[in-house]
Every structure is written in structure tokens, then in C-alpha cells.
Structure 1
Amino acid sequence: MKNKIPWILLAILLIATTTLACRLSPFAASPITTLQPTPTLKALPAQATPAASAPGEAVSLTERDQILADLYDRVSPGVVSIRIITQDGSGQGSGFVYDQEGHIVTNYHVVEGAQELEVDFSSGQKVHGDILATDLDSDLAIIQVDVPAADLTPLTLGDSDQLHVGQTVVAIGNPFGLSGTMTIGIVSAKGRTLESLREADNNAYFTAGDIIQTDAAINPGNSGGPLLNLAGEVIGLNRAIRTESSTDTGEPVNTGIGFAISSKIMSRVVPVLIKDGKYEYPYLGITSQDELSLFLAEELKLPQTSGAYVTSVRTDSPADKAGIRGGSVETTIPDLLSGGDLIIAVDGQPVQVFGDLLSYLMTSKSPGDSIVLTILRDGEQKEVTVILGKRP
């Protein structure tokens, strides 16, 4: 577990205050194809209490039950369990089949330190796997398995940008070693941030953005497994839970707050990891307050509570070269300086919280791209053009 720090390090692209709560398992994603519109589902009538059935008589499924049962039958062959052996013992997680070339997508933290790696399919087939590429910034890993294409069931990536809060989602994985487990919930929120697993040169950590929050039950062993919409498309990769309690053996307990890497991130990163072995993230070079309360805004003498407040700017970073200002005047709050710029928009898109800025950069921009930041400085609105670098 990483040490937490109060501010988010965007410069790097930032330090998250959210806690990684559990090690979940990997799942490989499916080939990236042109996405078709998600089928429209009929509104479901209230479920009546079924009449008692005669012994041996089949009980009919409701429309909703049938959708979920069909989804599981169609998707579960593409979900895998991952077992690893490390110097310190063994572990397990989940993953999903990405393509018919044998690429499996999972979390980096599922395979971290693996000396031996096994991938188990729902058919009962078990094979050795090799780690092809890893990405600590978004907590992703690609595993290569030598399996005939006919035995692989790739899953299709959906468009996480089209998700709505309240939309039904399904998680399939290997919680506590119970392979093929399916749970259901909703999208609780979008655009969250989590601390990444890559350390910067100042003992802080970069930040992962565009994270989906869900209340679908996610537990240790689910990491790396797919989060799906009702069309069976992968719209997230289950990564962590927020928890304040644990089992007798020290395992974190699900509290209804889970986090998944968005398919928008995966659609950008996974093909590059397979092709080049690494992915370069855009770098701005600021430290930002994650969210502004009314109290903080008043202490910082800001005219509004929405926006990403720049607490500091890294020397020689893209933000520094563009003239973005960090805080410089002491306040009554330790380590919080006033006088910094407040970023309220990027390329014309409103920034309500830092997560909005980070998600935009991670899903839409690359090193070398230029962006226009709209800032509030000394009561005046300004536009500043920044040429993004790559994370150092």
C-alpha cells in the first residue's frame, strides 16, 4: 500500500488520494473493433412473485434474468483466472481474452513479481503464460498465451464515454478463488482518480484518471476481470475497492465502492503495449488540489469552488515553460499555498475538478500535443497554450 499524500501530482500526471484497497485478478480484453450501437433494452415490468411450480417443472426466467443469463453464457468463456508464483508465495486474479493472438489483459498488480504464471479458462484448459508488457501508470498488463485461436473467445471493448451513472453493469472474475463468479451493480460515478503504481522522482506517485466507480461486488481475486455493460461489452477493468475493514485473514472487505480502469484508457493503451511494449502518457507538470471545498476556496481567496487549483509547478515542466503559476503565499493550512492559477477549462471543455482535466489528457492527448488551458489568475481569466511532454 502506498503512502498517501494530501495533494494530487498532476505534473506527473498527479498523485491520487484514493486508496488501492485490494489486489484483484486479470482478464484479457477482446480485439478493438468498430463499435456497434448498444441494443436498446425494453423497460422491465415489476417482477411478480412466481407461482409455485410442480416438482420437476422448469421455472421461466424474467426478461431481465434472461438477459443476464445469456450475457454470462456468451462472455464467461472469454474470462480467465490467473495464478502466479512469486518469491514470497502465490497469488491469483482475473483477466480477459483480448484477441485471437492469445493476448490477455489484466492488472499489473496481479502479475507483479510473478516467477511462474498460469492462465485458467472456463473450459478447464490451463496453460502457462508470459508477461508481454506492463503499464504501472494505469495498472495494466498484457499476458501472452500459446492457445489455438479456435479455443479463444475475445471480448469486445465498449465505449466507456457512453456510460451513464445508474446504468447496470456486470463484473465477472475470480473473487477469493471462486472462478467464473458474476456480480451485478450500477455505474456509481465516472472520472474518478486513483494513485498509480509508478513512483515519481520526488517520492510521490503519478495519478491514474478516467476511473469508473461501481457498486458491483468486487473482492480480492476480481482484479483484472472485466466490467461489462448489458450488451456484453467490456467497459472497464476491475482494479480496486475502497474499504475500511478486513477479514480474519487480512483480506479487504467489499463496501460497495469499487473502481475500474475505463475501456477508453484500454483502447488507447493496450494496442500500443502489444506493439511497442510501453505507452507514454502526456505530462503537464503541476501539483493540483483534487477538489475544492468552500473552506479551501475561501482560504485560497478563489472566486469559485470549481476548477483544478495549481498548488505547485515542476521546474522546467511543460506547465512551467508555459508560465502556469503555483501557489506562493502561506495560508493557515500547512503545506497549502495561495496565489496559484485555477484551471477552469481545457480546450474549451469545463474543468469542475482535477479528475476532469486528468481524464481529458489521458484519453484524448499524447506527448507533443498542445492544449489550451483557461485559467483564473488574480481575478482575471486568461488562456495559456501548453505543449505536453511525456511523464519523466
Structure 2
Amino acid sequence: MSEYPVRRGLRAAVPILLAVLPALLVPGCRVVENGGTGDVPPVVETTATKQAKPSGRKPGVVNIETEQELSGTRAAGTGIVLTAAGLVLTNNHVIKGATAIKGTDTDNRRTYPAEVVGYDHAGDIAVIRLTGATGLKTAAFASASRVDVGDVVTAVGNAGGKGGSPAVVTGKITALEQAVTARDDSSGTSERLTGLIETNAPIKPGDSGGPLLDTRGKVIGINTAASAGLTTKGAEPKKDHRGYAIPSDRALETARRIQRGEASSTVHIGRTAMLGVKVRSNGRSPGALVAEVVPGTPAEAAGIPVGAAIVAFADGVVDSPTALTSMMLAHHPGDAVRIEWTTRQGARLATTLRLGEGPPQ
């Protein structure tokens, strides 16, 4: 398994005031840094051939738009229809931080408000529900276990976040079992993803969450990250596109778990709890250092100040910002939790508060 740092350039994010100016869209999905009702559909066994032609666009693609009030941005991505009643598979980073979500089915051209059913932060998978949707055309899936290097593929998505008919690009599978460090330009965060399908199809910002199709039009992967470097083949440098997709088998396994309501250490079901602080590493000291307190939140009401270090949450010890996030995801809005923090002067304080509701993480 090889590894590349990758820029996640698959979700388009813009300041609210610039949302109507497509030329000012900024990549907000991760980039390689070096250069309803009804069941989730079963995997259909099929094999693409290297000599076959690209499949072109198939049914079951959704353009997703989100509003992120806390950061003052809008974002756009793609989803894949799982059920006729409106369950849609997408990337977690497409809906991360969203305070409002809407999805436009590209087959019937209708736009629906959407709610988050659940998400896997570590695996970059989320399931949303299009409210009021019925009779949607669903995507067909195939197992990614039978794909091979050289197979022809098609990537479909909301390229550039422009909406309308999905963009369609083609290429070949260039590697399997790839590991990347993916960075989200809109938040500055990064994470490591493994076991990905690599393709030279020119995936663009906005394509996150869209399907990677085999030659029969079956979904074999969920597009999640991309990079475009330069190579010096021949006399002139050429762009070297590398796109990365989560294998369909893994994505569907997570989607089924979410649909069944099975929470875990990485899978969160339903609404997301919020404390109301932005935290960072506390250097060599334990805890999560409070860098900002969001007005009108439980943290502000409890008097947790900027500069405090949160050291305990519920029944757990907080030794890092990541630990605090994981503990938060195990709770839901309205839960009463005990929280402890140390002040800059070294005093240790504690209180019990009820968590508010915030955007998905």
C-alpha cells in the first residue's frame, strides 16, 4: 500500500457574499498535500474490462448544497441515491459544519431540504435524507473487490459546485489500496484515509460524494479527494491528475450501519451535540485549550473562558482536542454532562450543563 498526502479538492466552499460568483469558488474538500425507508441496495457482482468504453452518466446523482452559519460559508458537493424514499450517500466532509442542507435530484430536477441521518467522521461517509422525496431513481452498485488497475472508469459529480446536470469525466484505475492524507481547505483540518481506489479521471472541486462508475454504470467507489500535480513526460510538463475514491463495499457497509441506527466510536447517529467552544492543542500540558467561545452556547452560559483547558468531559479524561471531539460525538443535544477545566491561573473548576445542538462534525 502506497501513501500520498492529498489535497481534498472535491467540495466547493465560498463566503456567503460570494456564493453567486462561481469564478471565486475555493476548493473545500480534501486535496493531496504533496503535489428514508427501504434498504440500502445490495452489491451487484460485475467486472469491468480494460477494453470496454466509459459508461457515461447514470441515474441516482444528487447535487448537495450546504450553509455553514458558524463559519459564514456555503459549500457544494454530490450525493448518490440509495433508496427511492430519499436516502442519499455522500462524504462526511460534504455535510461537516452544515447548519442547513438541500439536495437536488438531477433526474427529476426537484430540490429537497435534507437532514443528516448519521455519519462516520473517520471513514468520511455520511447518509442524509431528502425530506418529502418519493419515487427517486436509485444508483446501482457493484463490488469494488473485482476492479483492477487499467479498468476504465467514469466519475460523475457537481464539479465546481455549479449545480445543474452533473459533470462527467473518464479515466482508468491507476492504483488500488492507496493511503492519503487529505486536507480540507475550508477548515484547515486533515485526516488519513486508507484502502482507496486511485484514478486518473480529472475529478474537480464539488465532485466529493459522487460516484465512480465501472463500464456498466455500477458504482464502485465514492469520490473523496484529488490532486493535480505536474509531470515532465516529453518536452513539456503535463498535468498528472490523481483522484481517490472510497470502495463501494466499505461505503455501503457504513451506510447500512447508519440506517440501522448503530452508533460506534466513529459512527454518530442523528443530531449532533454542541458545547460551544473551538479548541486546539494545549502544547505539553493535558487538555483541550479553548481558543474561542461561541456566543449563546452552553459553554458561554457555564462561564468557560478563552484560555481555559478542558480536562474532563462526562466520565472521560480529555487529553487532546481529538479526544474531546470523540466524547462529544457519543452524546446528543439535551444530554446533561459534567465538564471540568483549568484556568490560566491554575484553578480547577467544574459544572454540569446540558449540551446544545450544533452542526455535524
After TM superposition, the score normalised by the length of structure 2 is 0.56
**Structure having the higher Rg:** 1
Contact 2:141–2:218 (8 Å) recurs in 1 = yes
Corresponding residue to 1:32 among 4, 27, 41: 41
Q: Corresponding residue for 1:188?
A: 174
Q: 2:123 aligns with which of 132, 138, 142?
A: 138
Question: What SS does the aligned partner of 2:258 have?
Answer: helix
Asked whether 1:21 is paired with 2:8, we answer: yes
Name the counterpart of 1:232: 217
Residue 352 of structure 2 is matched in structure 1 by none
Which AA in structure 1 matches 2:147?
A: L
1:236–1:91 distance in 2 versus 1, CA, 3 Å: same
Instruction: Assess if the C-alpha contact under 8 Å between 1:96 and 1:105 holds in 2.
Output: yes
Q: Find the counterpart in structure 2 of residue 86 from structure 1.
A: 68
Matched residue of 1:149: which SS? Answer: coil
Residue 192 of structure 1: CA displacement? 0.5
State the alpha-carbon separation in 2 of the partners of residues 279 and 155 from structure 1: 27
Structure with the higher fraction of residues in helix conformation = 1
1:209 aligns with 2:194: yes
| Structure 2 Cα separation of the partners of residues 106 and 176 of structure 1 | 16
**Partner amino acid for 2:138?**
P
Instruction: Give the residue type in structure 2 aligned to 1:83.
Output: E
Q: From the superposition, tell whether residues 82 and 34 of structure 1 become closer, same or farther in structure 2 (CA, over 3 Å).
A: closer
> After TM superposition, what 4+ stretches of structure 1 lie above 6 angstroms from structure 2?
none
Q: Is the 8 A contact 2:9 2:205 kept in 1?
A: yes
Q: Which has the higher strand share?
A: 2
Question: Is the CA contact (8 Å cut-off) linking 2:154 and 2:168 kept in structure 1?
Answer: yes
Q: 2:145 maps to which residue?
A: 161
- Any idea what the Cα deviations from partners look like across 1:199-236, whole Å, max 9, x if unmatched? xxxxx976422101011111100011010101111111
Residue 258, structure 1, aligned to residue 243, structure 2: yes
Question: Per-residue deviation at 1:41?
Answer: 6.5
Partner of 2:270: none
Q: Which amino acid aligns with 2:67?
A: I
Equivalent pair of 2:226/2:243 in contact (CA under 8 Å): yes
Q: Which residue of 2 aligns with 1:52?
A: none
CA contact (8 A) 2:154 2:201 kept: yes
Distance in 1 (CA, whole Å) between partners of 2:92 and 2:83 is 19
Q: Distance in 2 between matches of 1:238 and 1:274?
A: 21
User: Structure 1 regions of 5+ residues with no counterpart?
Assistant: 1-7, 9-15, 45-63, 199-203, 246-253, 282-392
**How far apart in 2 are the matches of 1:216 and 1:266?**
20
How far 1:197 sits from its partner (Å)? Answer: 8.4
Instruction: Give the count of matched residue pairs.
Output: 225
Q: Is the 8 A contact 1:134 1:277 kept in 2?
A: no
Residue 147 of structure 1 deviates from its aligned partner by 3.6
| CA deviation after TM superposition for structure 1 residue 244, in Å | 5.2
